[in-house]
């Protein structure tokens, strides 16, 4: 792992971006990293974009990520992933929720917009969340994909999930997270095969 990892989590208000950010940052602190988080959510309840920036490593100074330096962009929504595209490192990775769009505010063509990024994984987060019992857990599917891509084992995250998720939602959230990890693992294996 390089000295520090920078992650942008981008979505829309009410979709669980902030919840995932809390779990992620608390977990990273538990694992002994220096962590800085910057959130913009003042207008979230009024339908605005919501994003959080998480940086971790041995020693972190800036809570803000520089353009062209993010290792990951986790898009809880396609439009929001594209909004932050120029923050991604050239060799950085996009993880994008492919949930169908209710809003046709974006006039471009998604496929061609995403094709410029070297490493993109599309995740059917709504399908996976539905299979694991709760359509509202798309956010944890995305977190699972991220943790897998970062090379973490689930076991080190179990205590964090148990500490920061309310009891009644724990099981569903963990199942969704595991579903996301599996999906990402499968995607990476496929890439390896095609890459050869």
Partner 1 sequence: MGNEAIARGAYEANCKIISSYPGTPSTEIVESISMYEGIYAEWAPNEKVALEVAAGASIAGVRSLTTMKHVGLNVAADPFFNMTYEGVNAGMVIITADDPGIHSSQNEQDNRIYASHAKMPLLEPTNSQECKDMMVEAYEISERFNTPVMFRTTTRVSHSKSIVSFDEDAEAEGEYKEYRKNKLNRLLLPTISRKRHLEIEDNLLDIQTYSNQSSLNAIEYHSPDIGIVANGISYQYAKEVFGDTVSYLKLGMSYPFPDKKAKEFASRVKRIIVVEEGEPFIENALKTLGVDCIGKDIIPLCGELNPEIIRKAITREEISTYEPVSVPARPPRLCAGCAYLGLYSAVKSQRDVISAGDIGCYTLGGTEPIKALDTVLCMGASISMATGMQRTQDFKPMGKKVFAFIGDSTFFHSGMTGLLNAVYNKTPIVVCILDNRSTSMTGNQENPGTGKTLQGDMSNFIRIEDIVLALGIKPDNLIIVDPTNVSETRQSIELAKASTEPFVIISRHPCELIKPQTEIDSKAKYYITEDCVSCMKCTRLGCSAIKIVDKKVVIDRQECRGCSICPQVCPYNCIKEA
User: What are the residues binding partner 1 (CB under 8 A)?
Assistant: 12, 25, 29, 34-40, 42-43, 45-49, 60-64, 66-69, 79, 82-83, 85-88, 90, 102-108, 113, 116-117
The tokens describing 133, both together, are 């019992």
Compute the least distance from the CB of residue 24 to partner 1, in Å.
11
Which is closer to partner 1, CB of 48 or CB of 189?
48
Let me know how long the chain is.
196
Which is closer to partner 1, CB of 121 or CB of 148?
121
* Per-residue CA distances from 125 to 6, 7, 107 (Å): 22, 19, 23
CA 90 – CA 74 distance, rounded (Å):
15
Compute the least distance from the CB of residue 182 to partner 1, in Å.
28
Which is closer to partner 1, CB of 37 or CB of 141?
37
Which is closer to partner 1, CB of 51 or CB of 174?
51
CB atoms within 10 A of CB 162: 12
Compute the least distance from the CB of residue 11 to partner 1, in Å.
11
- ∠ Cα 186 110 94 (to 5°): 45
């Amino acid at each position: 792992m390089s000295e520090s990892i920078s992650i942008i989590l981008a979505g829309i208000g009410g979709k669980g971006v902030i919840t995932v950010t809390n779990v992620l940052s608390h977990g990273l602190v538990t694992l002994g990293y220096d962590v800085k988080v910057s959130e913009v959510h003042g207008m979230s309840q009024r339908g605005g974009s919501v994003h959080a920036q998480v940086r971790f490593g041995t020693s972190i100074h800036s809570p803000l990520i520089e353009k062209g330096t993010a290792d990951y962009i986790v898009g809880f929504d396609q439009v929001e992933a594209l909004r932050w595209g120029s923050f991604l490192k050239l060799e950085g990775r996009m993880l994008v929720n492919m949930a169908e769009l209710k809003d046709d505010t974006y006039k471009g063509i998604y496929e061609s917009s995403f094709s410029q990024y070297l490493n993109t994984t599309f995740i059917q987060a709504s399908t996976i969340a539905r299979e694991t019992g709760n359509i509202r857990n798309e956010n944890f599917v995305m977190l699972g994909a991220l943790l897998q891509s970062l090379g973490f084992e689930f076991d080190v995250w179990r205590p964090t999930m148990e500490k920061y998720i309310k009891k009644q939602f724990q099981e569903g959230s963990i199942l969704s997270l595991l579903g996301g990890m599996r999906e990402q693992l499968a995607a990476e294996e496929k890439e390896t095969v095609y890459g050869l």
